[in-house]
Chains A and B, each alone.
Chain A
Amino acid sequence: MSEIIISQVITGLSIGSILLLVALGLAIIYGTTGVINLAHGEFVMLGAYSAWALQKYLNVGLFEGLILIFIIVAFIGFIVERVVIRHLYDRPLDTILATWGVGIMAQQIIRLTAGGELRYVQMPPSLGSSISVLGVETSAFRMFVLVVTAALFGVTWYLMYRTNIGMKLRAITQNREMASSFGINSNKIYSLTFAYGCGLAGLAGALVSPLKSVSPEMGTTYVVDAFMVVVLGGVESLLGTVASSIILGELNGFLAFFSNDTMAKAIVFLAIVVLIRFRPQGLFSSKIRG
């Protein structure tokens, strides 16, 4: 029995790490700029397609390609911010519509250029088997995703709280006009943040692609998951995002193990609906965004 529990805890952590990976970029963009990026799932999808294209046309494996994928998707995000998002920072409802439109366009562009069929991204062969963690057999690739996610979270935290640019970003988040009057170029910081968040989404797409399937529509499920994490964790709280990913991952894993995935999904959704009824700011945030 204890073995089952350990194996479920690890499974939950693995599910949670994928959730965190997908949600991290969204949390940063939403938490700092207030833009509700409905195209987030499409940036995940673009990451997966970048991994596929690099592998198929340039023969670059998933490991070697990760940095390149981050740069490609971040650059696309940068352009989208410059062309569309920039003009909508004070109009939250319009950003929903605009980013949704961007998402649809991204799906169709991929469908027209890369084709509509499911695509195959090879798992790095060295991680294709299972390893033993705490006496439990588990997928080596999932553990790799867990480690990468932890590392990315560390990098993000460091950028936000230990660098000059992160400090400026936090200043803008607190009061944009005030920060600008102290000479912080808020436009520049916002576009870098947006690009960084998109780059993270791209990495998420690349890292899940060997476990799941790659199709132009794949983003829609991820964006729902990502919003669940952010809503539960509370905006503006990086640690809240981590905690809520782990909670959701473990909850999903255990419910699915002791009943089934259909029930797990329904119960998790219900729990979140009940939670935001009584705690709309999320579990780990003390401030409601005005």
Chain B
Amino acid sequence: MKINRRSFVKGSIAAGAFTAGFPHIWIKDSSLAYAAGGEIKVGVLFSLTGTTGIIEESLNKATIMAIEEVNAAGGINGMKIVPVVEDPASDPATFAEKARKLVLGDKCVSVFGSYTSASRKAVLPVFEKRNNLYWYPTLYEGRECSKNVIYTGAVPNQQQDEFVPWLVKKFGKRWSLIGSNYIYPKEENNYCKKLLAGLGCEVIREEYVPLGHSEFSSVVNKFRSEKPDVIFSTVVGDSVVALHRQYRAAGLNPDTMPMASLTTSENEVAAMGGDAAAGHFTSAPYFQVWDSPENHKFVDAYRSRWGADKVTHFVSEPCYFQVKMFAEACSKLAASDINPNNIREAVKGVEMMAPQGKVRLDGPTLHTYLWPKIGVCKSDGQFEILKQSPTWLAPVPYKAYENQICTEQGLQES
């Protein structure tokens, strides 16, 4: 029989309709199930190049290390986790494209990824449409209630509820808020202002600088002339480094006018130098110096795997424990039941010892119970932990919005 183009096209359409029409026939085929041949495929979607490539590379490393540890300890009921690594190059559109490839092409059962909110928002439609799971390790601004994202980083209430009253008590009531000009700092400041209003404090300045801004001399002049008690900083990326260095070069004193930051980690401190960072405060659930057996193990393993000069920080730690959470959820399921829906149900309420302490995945919100800590930076570039929350803190992603609440059924408005 001669195959001409028309009959070939007709045949393909028929075949396509057949497979699309009877998908259950193929799902039973073990070669197409999520867990096949003793392997569970997961995506790892952190930028290795581009503007946020620097920090995301450390997230990739923590994720890969956790996967290797799970596999070395026998895997998930004898099955190996196989990571499929993609480089989305710090570009939200590329994030979406690579996410589609991981979910549809590679049939990954979950994807670990993203540092910025912009990249998370870009991949969200892919995961919601395909009902897959995205594991997001970064602290972020809250106000999201997706059933297809597992959030293991802190939301505003977890970083601020302890931190803000503590600072008010220690330093005073006149606050200056400075942030980079995008959604994360605005939402954090929004919540901060609510807390400050409740404590009878005064916000004397709220200001935003362009992303990537590096000339802070006018900002520093304002600090000098207005003398706020606390400078609440949500400046991100290399701007953090420039702000701290110029504050220091101008001779301002952190003892009387400290900067309190939600975004300054060991990484930024290494780049700005210990003397520029010394005396300023950060609130986060994790610091590299945290003294616990789990953390010593984590830091040692990280350094021996990736190099003695590498630091762990408050985004790489959730990268590490969320893989362990994923493994624990999967281990409760039979191999044939491993799919995104079942993993989501299985991970609800999972508790485990993370380097920061015992964490718990909250069922209704899919966010995580965490242990906020307050650290002050020292001139050797490490933090000293001054205070830890007495209990783990429940995540409340809509805390600044009283009429909205994230539930198992999705966002409820009253």
Instruction: Decide: A128 near B248, CB < 8 A? Known: A11-B217, A257-B222.
Output: yes
Q: Is B273 an interface residue (CB 8 A)?
A: yes
Residues of B within 8 A of A218 (CB): 238
Q: B79 at the A/B interface (Cβ < 8 Å)?
A: no
**Also in contact, A210 and B245, with CB within 8 A (given A15-B217, A257-B218):** yes
Extra inter-chain contacts (4) besides given A116-B54, A211-B245, A260-B208, CB under 8 Å? A11-B221, A139-B249, A213-B241, A257-B222
Q: Is B4 interfacial (CB-CB < 8 Å)?
A: no
Return B231 CB to nearest CB of chain A, in Å.
15
Q: Are A137 and B250 interface neighbours, CB within 8 A?
A: yes
Question: Any chain B CB within 8 A of the CB of A261?
Answer: yes
A interface residues, tally (CB under 8 Å)? 42
Contact A118–B250 (Cβ < 8 Å): no
For the complex of A and B, 9 pairs with smallest distance between CB atoms:
A130-B251, A118-B271, A256-B218, A213-B238, A213-B241, A139-B249, A261-B209, A212-B214, A11-B217
Contact B215 A261, beta carbon cutoff 8 Å: yes
Q: Which residues of B contact A120 (CB under 8 A)?
A: 270-273
Residue B399 CB within 8 A of the other chain: no
Question: What is the distance, in angstroms, from A214's C-beta to the closest C-beta of chain B?
Answer: 8
A156 contacts B by Cβ under 8 Å = no
- What is the total number of residues of chain B having a CB less than 8 Å from a CB of chain A? 38
Q: Which residues of B contact A287 (CB under 8 A)?
A: none
Q: How far is the CA of A123 from the CA of B212 in the complex (A)?
A: 21
Per-position binary interface string of chain B over residues 230-263, scored 1 when its CB falls under 8 Å from any chain A CB and 0 otherwise: 0000000011011001101111000000000000
Say whether B162 faces chain A, with CB atoms less than 8 Å apart.
no
Beta-carbon contact of B214 and A257 below 8 Å: no
> Please, how many angstroms separate the alpha-carbon atoms of A120 and B241 in the complex?
9
Q: Which residue of A lies closest to B273 (CB)?
A: A120
A4 within 8 A of B: yes
State in angstroms the CA–CA spacing of A260 and B207 once bound together.
7
Asked if B273 and A130 make an inter-chain contact with CB atoms under 8 angstroms apart, the answer reads no
Cα separation A254 to B362 with both chains bound (whole Å): 49
User: CB-CB < 8 A to B51: which residues of A?
Assistant: 217
Q: For chain A residues 63-105, which have a beta carbon within 8 Å of chain B?
A: none
**Bound form: Cα–Cα A243–B3 in Å:** 76
Let me know if A139 and B57 touch, CB within 8 A: no
- Asked whether A164 is an interface residue with its Cβ less than 8 Å from the other chain, the reply is no
The distance from the CB of A257 to the nearest CB of chain B, in whole angstroms, is 5
Q: Mark contacts of B78-89 with chain A using CB atoms, 8 A cut-off: 1 yes-contact digit, 0 otherwise.
A: 000000000000
Task: Give the shortest distance, in Å, between A140 (CB) and chain B (any CB).
Answer: 8
Q: Could you say which of A117, A123, A217 contacts B249, with CB atoms under 8 Å apart? A: A123
Report B270-296 CB contacts with A as 1/0, cut-off 8 Å. Answer: 111101000000000000000000000
Contact A118-B218, Cβ < 8 Å, known A211-B245, A212-B241 = no
Is B210 an interface position by the 8 A CB rule?
yes
Report A-chain residues with C-beta under 8 Å of the C-beta of B213.
261, 265
Which listed residue, A116, A211, A261, A264, touches B246 by the CB 8 Å rule? A211
**Contact partners of A123 in chain B: CB under 8 A:** 245, 249, 273
A220 vs chain B, min Cβ distance (A) = 9
Q: Does B165 contact A (CB under 8 A)?
A: no
Partner of A253, one of B53, B218, B251, B275: B218
Compute how far the CA of A276 lies from the CA of B239 in the bound complex, rounded to whole angstroms. Answer: 30
Q: Which residues of A contact B49 (CB under 8 A)?
A: 111, 116
Within 8 A of A (CB), among B173-230: 181, 207-210, 212-215, 217-219, 221-222, 224-225
| B317 beta carbon closer than 8 Å to chain A | no
Whether, in the assembled complex, A14 has its beta carbon less than 8 Å from a beta carbon of chain B, the answer is yes
* B219: contacting residue among A14, A130, A138, A256, CB under 8 A: A256
The listed residue (A116, A122, A142, A214) touching B217 by CB distance below 8 A is A142
Q: Is B268 an interface residue (CB 8 A)?
A: yes
Q: Are A122 and B273 neighbours in the complex by a CB distance under 8 Å?
A: yes
| CB neighbours of A130 from chain B (8 A) | 249-251
Instruction: Report A266 CB to chain B, min CB distance, Å.
Output: 9
- B217 A253 Cβ-Cβ under 8 A: yes
Q: Give the residue name and chain of the B residue nearest to A142 (CB).
A: B249
Q: Decide: A213 and B218 in contact? CB cutoff 8 A.
A: no
